[in-house]
Structure 1
């Protein structure tokens, strides 16, 4: 089998890249280790930056998003019993939208099916060969038989645990990582959101987040110990703890109910450099991870897709490799800014086990500066809605 671009990973970044390349006449094959149903069952964040919304429209997959999404003109931050809003639309004239990552993925799969582009599910033991040479290829096992795809380029969109990053030799690759000493316990419940906007809460008991998927489906989180297990937390215990971390006026309006999904996620910051090795290009979680504070995970993957798409289109259209040669540098420049925003917001809102009384005063001063300083709010808004590509 031969194609122009093999995309390893059938999540939203790989699917978005495949759709954008298809519209430019560039042939792709997507290899996905799991089944389609498995991919669509994964619960992920749902805040889309301006840039990703524009890319969905460019890819021709925005119709359902535009009908069903919730436009958010800002967000709210609380500390103890104080609650204030950061108004994105007033400050910078932009907004974000709430539309679940699962729905983004579903729309992209439907679009790929409609154009007949090839996606191979349950591709096991994927291996990347000769990525540093002019004729790379990928092998994998399907239904017990080994398969091979020859190609011009390989896009590694297979996540943190995938094969793509590990293909880059250790003496070429440098990994940067910070592991935070806590996790997020999250639940999904068929209850109305407690507020029209997201609420990021700092309290003496730890961080909390009030989010939503739609008008009848809410997503809530509380900071928890890394040693905690899901079974340690009953629904009643979760709701009780969440209320304690919110301002009284918010807690009093909170509608509780049975959880339909419950999970614990550790928090880490991670970046791998470079994001290109020969004809292999890393995208999204394969190259970088951000804490979920600030909703940058899917959005940073989208910016990678933008730069890689531009480089590949330029190569095939004009035989100009400059966009591909500069891909890693351009992508990483934006990634590190997003990493800084997520790291900064995480430090501002969470309780750390080694915080001194001085550290807590500095954290409080930073939140109050954001509360009362329009310049600080403008910087926050610019980063939250997404820096330009």
Structure 2
């Protein structure tokens, strides 16, 4: 017998069955990451997050799932629909709450329909629509989808895309091999930035999550909070969640650290999938030229080369990443708007947005960091 359940947390779910549905080892939808957020205060009603996961069981076994949330705002999503919300509410509607399929606070492409076959993926999409209509919501959204999941969405779902900057491994044997493919100016600038960091006197290294002490996790979290404080934003990830990552994911968490007399004064935190490195959080209490690029980008590239990872996704936004070897890569989202008039208006706007973003890509590629005589990753 097949049953679909709606879950307000993952406590009742078997972790092994959940993780068996994730084909690419993406850490941002694994059980430990999502359940850890629920347990350690990262997802709260006053932050606008309420778990509303879909789970399909067959004869008592979990066969498909979709991490989903009722959202009271659009913060922490990175696919921006604030203008849609404003327009809908000016017309007298209630845009929030809405239903969101996503990895919270993580603008990382990955599986959102956790299933081993297309039939179950389509059932999950139908379940999202059914929940949206059952609860009388304005809309459902699924962000940062893998291309393999896109066919599960029919034409009733609006298509949207954007660009992130990713690095691709072309079988490089070492960092210098990567540099040889760049233009001379970009190669010179990267060497200069790396030299500035190495000449700083700081002890710089990549450290595995399983080796980090409790006191160092406290220091890492304080640096993470510093970054958000400087930007006037709220740091949603808690210290207990950081510690949980180290305990539960071990070496799938990597931290680039800069130490002064043994004390961590700057860091960049990464997560590791089967073939991809993901850059997540940065923080520093020192001003050192080149240090941000060394910790956030260059150590990550070296890690990918050493561990034969194919892709490095350093996070959302940031055209400056192109000068460090990262190229624009398309990201996908899908949106179901219940009101047909609203759907039509947004659908038309997305046509213009798509043209603008395609033109943006062409403009970016005119400034590719790779030498034209070399194959581009």
TM bin (shorter chain) = under 0.3
- Superposition TM-score, scaled by structure 2 size: 0.26
